[in-house]
Structure 1
Amino acid sequence: MSTIACDTPHCALDEPAWRTVCKTAAEHAQRGCGLSWDHWVTLFSTEIDVQASRLPESQRVQALQIALEWDYATPAERQATQEWNAANGYCSHGIELGYCPAGCGS
Structure 2
Amino acid sequence: MDTNVVIVGAGPAGLAVGACLKRAGVDFIILEKASELAPAWRRHYRRLHLHTVKSFSSLPFLPFPKSNPRYVPREKWSPISMPMPRVSAWSRASASR
Task: Kindly indicate which of the two structures has a greater share of residues assigned to strand.
Answer: 2
Higher RCO (C-alpha 8 Å, min separation 6)? 2
Q: Same fold (TM over 0.5)?
A: no
Task: Kindly indicate which of the two structures has a greater share of residues assigned to helix.
Answer: 1
TM-score tier after normalising by the smaller chain length: under 0.3
Asked which structure has the greater CA Rg, the reply is 1
TM-score under structure 1 normalisation?
A: 0.25
